[in-house]
Amino acid sequence: MKKTVDVSIPLGPMHPCWKEPVRLKCETAGERVLHTEVELGYMKKGIERIMRGRPWQEVMFLAERVCGICSVVHNMVFIEAMEGISDIAVPPRAAYLRVVANELDRIASHLIANFSYCYTIEHETLAMYLLNTRETVLDNLERLTGSRINTAYMIPGGVRFDLLPEDAAVMLADLAKVEDELKRYVRIFETGPLIGLRSRGIGCMSRVDAIRAHTVGPTARASGVEDCDLRLRHPTYRALDFEQVTRTEGDNFARVMVRFQEVFQSIDLIRRCVDTLPAGRIRGGGLCRAGEISYSGEAPRGELTYTIKTDDFGRVVDIAIRTPSIMNIEACAHYMVADAASIADVTSTFISSDPCIACNER
Amino acid sequence: MRSIIYYVREFLRPEWLKKFFFVKTAPLVTPPYFKGYPTRTEKECTGCFTCMMICPAPEAIAVLRRKERWEPEVYPGHCIRCGLCVEACPEGVLSSGRVMEVAGRDATAFWHSYHLEVDESLCMRCGNCCVACPINRQIDPRLAGTGTSTSDDVIMRVKGGRVQILHEEKCTGCKTCETQCPSGAMRVARMVEGVQFLDGVGS
């Protein structure tokens, strides 16, 4: 049930810290925040409505336009849902290449999330460092797929382009450079005294609260929720011995650090993928058929679910998308910033939960 | 005090100072792997409409008949630069980044089949779909000139007061009927399958 909030401080919908329009209604007593409520609905696109009646080759492009930051995973979850409906098997090489593209996208997404956080706590130097590093990652995504953001890399039964050994070598060299740079940035973040003042012990959410609020993704993992990464259940990631990153503090610092650790983990995963890339074909073929499925995958922000119904010709009859940020935003408003000591912490805590409003409102 | 030490340590590194004074932004160059808007190569278009069929963006590409030859025309405002038309074209008429070379190297292609259906409750029997259909116009020139046809070789025509699909197998999935239909009654189901040919054997 929605709480009634006697708004004394509205944050947004236009706010210099927000990347997208959202309104936080805060009830305050002096500096102390008593209640907070989120107001969404400023950028509804109606993508699910546009998707209806279209075949996969059109819906694929609409799906990745749901979110501009984590577009690859939207493509991946939609395509894997279609494959689940039609029993299409993916060649092992294609499955590994999908992981490469997805992890590159995850690195880019986590870096921009941490950029936003550093920018919000006014550490612009570190923020710009991270944004600069992200460019290298996007260049590699472009080398693999031809586009930086909306890549449309996966199709039912495989991927669109193969990864050449020389491109793979350039990618690994670039990622080694990214890893080196990131180690320094993480040290700056961990040891920076001013960053510590703004991050450690701010916006705490306990494990019990995190589970009660159904948080997902790095937000849940920072509060110590185990076994909440859907990559643990994905067959390709299982073959790569994926292990979940978990921290126990549950504050802003932990949420940002979880993302940093996941970036290192993603770099490792890409290395393992490229080293053990099986030979063979990258497309297996297979027509989309009629059926109904609900399929989830791990987006950079948490669990992403596509519920799809198709007709005999593989066209989408009905589709519903549940994106991860919706739970994290509500958890942020009701648990993280509840009883915050300062209004300034509301913005940074909200950004630390990595809200993606475009995802939420589709 | 700690923060001062922290900033001094961060910014008095020789590497950083060197960068600060001497680094120049590299000039912006378009990498060869960038997928731009598709451009025409010197190969001749055969008018098979595969590019129009696979295009996910509404009205981003049209294959037009100009001076006795077919020419694919890309509308940059609508095109989303996905490169699917380049990958799907069997003749290599379009090129974008290195998509064509990569698709040739990997021997990837798309297989496609179509199904036409008319929603009788929406159709108002105007016959726009039959007249607009580029295949219909090639099969029966009279249809192109006068808008009426008595030929039974066309894909579809108004017969007995309603649109009847006569030869679904001749459809190339170009969606022209779908875009020209004023009431949204015409639907072309395009079933596409991504395939790869390795060692000359199809999957």
Per-residue pLDDT tens listing for chain A (362 residues): 455 666 678 887 888 888 888 888 888 888 888 888 888 888 888 898 999 888 888 899 999 888 888 889 999 999 999 999 988 888 898 999 999 999 999 999 999 999 999 999 888 889 999 999 999 999 899 888 888 888 888 988 888 888 888 889 999 999 999 999 999 999 989 988 888 888 888 888 888 988 888 899 899 999 988 888 888 888 888 888 888 889 888 889 999 999 999 999 999 999 998 999 888 888 888 888 888 999 999 999 889 999 999 988 888 999 999 988 888 888 888 888 877 788 888 888 988 888 888 888 88
Nearest to B194 among A125, A139, A157 (CB): A157
Q: Is position A134 within any domain? A: yes
One-letter identity of residue B87: E
What parts of chain B have a pLDDT lower than 70?
199-203
| DSSP calls for A271-316 | HHHHHTPPPS-SB------SEEEEEEEEETTEEEEEEEEE-TTS-E
Q: Hey, which bits of chain A come out as E strands?
A: 9-11, 23-29, 32-39, 154-155, 158-159, 291-299, 302-310, 316-322
Question: What's the pLDDT at B202?
Answer: 43
Q: Is position A244 within any domain? A: yes
**Which of A61, A88, A161 best probes binding to B when mutated, by most B CB atoms within 10 angstroms?**
A161
User: What CATH number is attached to the domain comprising A223?
Assistant: 1.10.645.10
Which chain B positions have a beta carbon within 8 Å of A85's beta carbon? Answer: none
Domains of chain B are 39-108 (3.30.70), 115-195 (3.30.70.20)
What is the rounded distance in angstroms from the CA atom of residue B55 to the CA atom of residue A48? 19
Whether A194 sits inside 8 A of B3 (CB atoms) is yes
What is the rounded distance in angstroms from the CA atom of residue B196 to the CA atom of residue B56? 21
ipTM value of the model? Answer: 0.81
Q: Is position A124 within any domain? A: yes
Give the residue numbers spanning the domain of A110: 44-328
* pLDDT tens column, A117-175: 999 988 888 999 999 999 999 989 988 888 888 888 898 888 888 888 888 999 999 99
Domain count, chain A: 1
Question: What's the pLDDT at A1?
Answer: 46
According to DSSP, the residues that pair with A32 across neighbouring strands are A29
Q: Is position A39 within any domain? A: no
End-to-end CA distance of chain A: 23
Q: Is position A337 within any domain? A: no
Residue B101 burial (CB count, 10 A): 13
For residue B76, the SS3 value is coil
Q: Is position A362 within any domain? A: no
Question: What's the pLDDT at B201?
Answer: 45
Q: Is position A209 within any domain? A: yes
Question: What's the pLDDT at A312?
Answer: 86
Question: What's the pLDDT at A263?
Answer: 93
Q: Is A55's Cβ below 8 Å from some Cβ in B?
A: yes
Whether A192 sits inside 8 A of B111 (CB atoms) is no
Tokens, residue A291: 């059926």
Whether B192 sits inside 8 A of A58 (CB atoms) is no
Question: What's the pLDDT at A2?
Answer: 57
Whether A283 sits inside 8 A of B98 (CB atoms) is no
- What letter does residue B155 receive in the DSSP assignment? S
Which chain A positions have a beta carbon within 8 Å of B194's beta carbon? Answer: 155-158, 160, 283, 285
Q: Is position A98 within any domain? A: yes
Compute the residue count for chain A.
Answer: 362
